Structures are given as C-alpha cells and as structure tokens.
Amino acid sequence: MVETLDAGIKLAVLLEGSFALDVDGAGLQQQHAAESSLFTSSRAWQLDHSFARGCTLHYLTLFVDAALVSDVLEADLPDMTQVRQVNRLTPLAMVSVTNSILHGPFAGAAGRLHAAGKALELAALAVDLIVSPSSSSEVALASASEARRLNDLHAYIGEHWRELPTLDQLARRFGFGLRAMTTGFRRLYGCSISEHARELRLREGWRLLDAGMSATLAAEAVGYTLPHFTAAFASRFGITPGALARHGTQGRKI
C-alpha cells in the first residue's frame, strides 16, 4: 500500500503487530510493536507499506502540515531533498496520549474535541523529539544497506536479549565496525543497544507480573536480582514490581 504525503511531519505509533516499510524508495525495513517512527520532509514523499497475510495492527498516525512547523523543518532539514526518519521505543508520554486518543472517555462532539486536543499534545511531543538536544545528532542513515543491517540487528536483539553476544560479536555478525554499529543504532532507534536490551527485559518483566508471577520470580526470569529489578522497573514505569504484582495494571499499558 503506497501512501503519498506532502511536506511536513508524520508520527506513527505502533502498539501491536509488525510490518515492512519502504521510506521514499530507500528499501524495506521492519517496523515493530512498542516503537514509534518520526518522519520529517520538506517535499512530497511516499511510504510503501507491506503487510503479512492475516496480520493484526494496533496503531495511531498523526500528520502535521509543513506550514505549521516550517521553522522546525528549516532547522532540521538543511538538505531539502532528504526525508529524515527516526525510529525509537515509544516514550511513555506518547503511549499514554496515544491510548487516550484510541480509548477516549467521551463520545460525539465531546469525543472529537478530546481527540483533537490530545492530537495537539501528541504533535507537541513529536516536535520536541526533533528539536530536543538528545536528538540533535540524529541524521539520516548513510544507506539503505545500513538501515537493513541495523534492522536485522534490532530484530536479533529482540529474539536473543536473554543471552546477548558482546558488542564486538554483534558488529562482526552484522558486518559493522563497532563505532558505526553503535552510532547507527542510536541514530535509528534513539537509544543504545544496551538500553534497548534493558527495555526488552523490563517489558518482559511487566508481562510476567501482569500474568500473575511474583516480583522475585519475574526478576529472576529476566536476569535481575530483586533489588536491581525493583530499582530499574520503578525508574522505567513509575511503579514497583511488588505493587504491580499486588494490584495489577489497572488498565495501564506499556
């Protein structure tokens, strides 16, 4: 499915499922649940989506016209011919706003106003990701080949985070120099390889706790001691593993 877009900013938040995406002819790359993609372009451009048969997706997209964010585009895209893409694990603030839009408490006119207000909030979070200092060094990838290998690396980490090889071993496996791999991964996904692996461990811990496992067993299952698991989990999700095990998610999602 080909989507043609005008100049502007597009945010895509994928909550469930996966699919392949070709960004303006750069080659297919896999999009995964719990990630968001942020695109900026100063010209018309295209996205080509490829879906597996029978796949289920739960997502939200938002497009902001170039006229509303011209200052951001001029600062972010000195090369007017490029489409810039940043993939990252979706920040909790974005997840919260996205779920509020998808599962709004109002209907009718009130529901439309609520969704419009939350959409503006989501747009503000997206623009902040572009202009914040943490993303100022993120630039377009060097090539479609690099993007594919980084995507393969990302998928590999998702499957092997419990016993992840060293960075040197990963670099050799995927044909990178160590610096090129670590820099490219951070540029594309907004975090380091170790940060991504830690996020996967904590999300698995959340899933186990939500399924009824005790905090002690969940910590052991994801490779933590209980004190370290408690500290990392509370820092990431704002709730301790013990509290989640006792009281459940109460509708919270990650």
pLDDT tens-digit map of 139-161: 344 455 777 788 889 889 999 99
Report pLDDT digits (tens) over 158-172: 999 999 999 999 999
Domain 195-247 has CATH 3.30.2020.30: no
Report pLDDT digits (tens) over 211-232: 899 999 999 999 999 999 999 9
Burial of 189 (0-12, 13-18, 19+ CB in 10 A): buried
Bigger pLDDT: 97 vs 141: 97
User: What are the residue boundaries of the structural domains of the chain, listed by start?
Assistant: 2-135, 144-191, 195-247
pLDDT at res. 160: 93
- CATH fold of the domain at 2-135: Jelly Rolls (2.60.120)
Distance CA 13, CA 23 (A): 16
Average pLDDT for 50-78: 80
Cβ atoms of 84 and 40 within 8 Å: the answer is yes
Bigger pLDDT: 208 vs 248: 208
pLDDT at res. 111: 85
Does pTM top 0.95 for this prediction?
no
> What are the distances in angstroms from CA 219 to CA 42, 174, 226, 246?
46, 30, 5, 15
Average pLDDT for 38-63: 89
Q: What are phi and psi of 61, to 5 degrees?
A: -120, 150
